[in-house]
Amino acid sequence: MAADPHFLAQSATDLKRVTRFSMRFYDLLFQRSERMLAFTFAVLILGGTLLLWMPISHGKPVSQSRPGLSLIDALFTATSAVCVTGLTVVNTDSDFSRFGQVVILSLIQLGGLGIMTFAALGAQLLGGKMSFRSQSMVADSFFQRNAATTLRRDLKRIVVATLIIEAIGAAVIYLDLLSEPGEAAPAFSAIFHSISAYCNAGFSIYPDSLVQQRVASPAFIYMIMLLIVLGGLGHAVVLETTKRVWNQIRRQPMKPIMWTLNTRIVLYMSAGLILVGTVLLLPLGIYEQSVSWFDAITNAAFQSITCRTAGFNTVDIGALPRTALMVMMVFMFIGGSPASCAGGVKTTSVATWYSQLRAWLRGNTDVTLLGRRLPPSVVARAAMIIGLGVIWCATGTMILTLTESFEQEKDSLDLMFEQVSAFGTVGLSTGVTPHLSSAGKLWITISMFVGRLGPLTAAMVISQRAVTSARYPEEQILVG
């Protein structure tokens, strides 16, 4: 029986339409690294949501009236894990089974390094070849440069260094937990908290985060602090630091180490923010009055480190003075460093913005930092990142004031703290998170996703690049 010519022609037309649509989708998604990055994170969040929604992931009932985890709570938790934030609407210890906790840990690890990293590494290990475009996408995530000539070598080093650091941290925490009587599953707890700390996730399987561990396990707290700092420096900085220090020890111990400008800015800013944060938080009563000065300084330093990116807490955040919350919001907004697991507008952006402001006030046309002149494109990018971050957090706070209604003791500052914490992928909360409405949970979920991508990257995902040669007439206006 002969085929109908009209049917064949219609089928060919439909196939062409599907092909054109597929090519259009490919162009929109894979031609630009920021869209590919957003797509991989979205797919990972969707997969994590489905796994956490399954009954096998649930622990005891969330409440008597709600026997299982709702879909929106699963989405919120998966987004928080993939975006290494740490905000939770349920208890990670009791409301998730061991399987659910392993899922959360896997999402933290994949989200911390980026699923594109593991996909690229897997392709290399299996003998596959990555295109130059794919290499550039991964290189942009870590090094913020277009060239990817050393990606294969550095990619393996990043993964190996990550696993070694996490293994050392888990070993130290495990040995410390062994000394605690009645500690359940010390090995899993050590692995979970080591990965969560290095990936700056802030998830804990203890109901009060690390409040009790601060007193019971000092070595636990110190190792968590070190892991948070290393995870917030950025993979490129950690690689450069270890490589240069090793070469200095092995070959030329008398020759000074020449650091790149990016590494110097990251190290100086990170050390300075930790010190300034400790000094500012120390007199604001974030510790019990009965503790020693050493413990008080340690506690202030821990909060200074964790409030920029990690989200662990050794004190009740909701009971802190309002001044302390405002200080912590500034540090949460700054966040960690580029190409790291941390969120925020990043330390290098703040350093660039400060250098730009200083140059303007002095009447200089060049923006310089640590003896180097910064390209105008970098200066403009830093200003856009900070500006978009301020707009997003201000808009988010206003949205939360519309969607949420709390008791008298909860005010707009708590909602602003929640918004900045989500945007900075920090995970600290004054107690607002479990009481968010469905609309509030969805908005915080979006904020965590945008914060993980970065405000400028998120804006570029939905924008179209249009290049025009037209220039409009210039005219002065009154400003200031």
Q: Tell me the pLDDT tens digit for each residue of 393-437.
A: 999 999 998 888 765 456 788 999 999 999 998 989 888 888 888
Reading the block at residue 464, the tokens are 């179209």
225 backbone dihedrals φ, ψ, rounded to 5°: -60, -45
- Cβ atoms of 52 and 79 within 8 Å: the answer is no
Q: Which residue has the tokens 């220090």?
A: 245
Using CA atoms, how far apart are residues 232 and 332, in angstroms rounded to an integer? 12
pTM of the model: 0.83
pLDDT of amino acid 193:
93
pLDDT of amino acid 146:
40
Burial class (CB in 10 A: 0-12, 13-18, 19+), 251: exposed
167 backbone dihedrals φ, ψ, rounded to 5°: -65, -40
Polymer length of the chain: 480
Using CA atoms, how far apart are residues 441 and 210, in angstroms rounded to an integer? 24
286 DSSP assignment: -
Using CA atoms, how far apart are residues 28 and 22, in angstroms rounded to an integer? 10
Q: Which residue has the tokens 């130059």?
A: 132
pLDDT of amino acid 398:
93
Q: What residues are paired with 372 via a beta bridge?
A: 369
Largest CA distance in the chain: 94
- Cβ atoms of 233 and 270 within 8 Å: the answer is yes
434 DSSP assignment: G
19 DSSP assignment: H
pLDDT of amino acid 460:
62
Relative orientation angle of helices 98-113 and 151-178, to the nearest 10 degrees: 140
Reading the block at residue 176, the tokens are 């410390």
- Cβ atoms of 138 and 116 within 8 Å: the answer is yes
The one-letter code for the residue type at 272 is: G
Helix (H) or strand (E) holding 26: helix 5-30
- Cβ atoms of 330 and 303 within 8 Å: the answer is no
pLDDT beneath 70, residues of the chain? 1-35, 60-68, 114-154, 181-182, 214-216, 251-257, 285-291, 406-410, 456, 458-469, 480
Relative orientation angle of helices 98-113 and 186-198, to the nearest 10 degrees: 30
**Angle at the Cα of 87 (from 170 to 272), degrees rounded to 5?**
70
Using CA atoms, how far apart are residues 320 and 366, in angstroms rounded to an integer? 42
pLDDT of amino acid 282:
86
Q: Which residue has the tokens 């990619």?
A: 155
pLDDT of amino acid 418:
93
DSSP codes joined into one string, 107-145: HHHHHHH-HHHHHHHHHHHTT----HHHHHHHHHHHH--
- Cβ atoms of 436 and 404 within 8 Å: the answer is yes
pLDDT of amino acid 475:
80
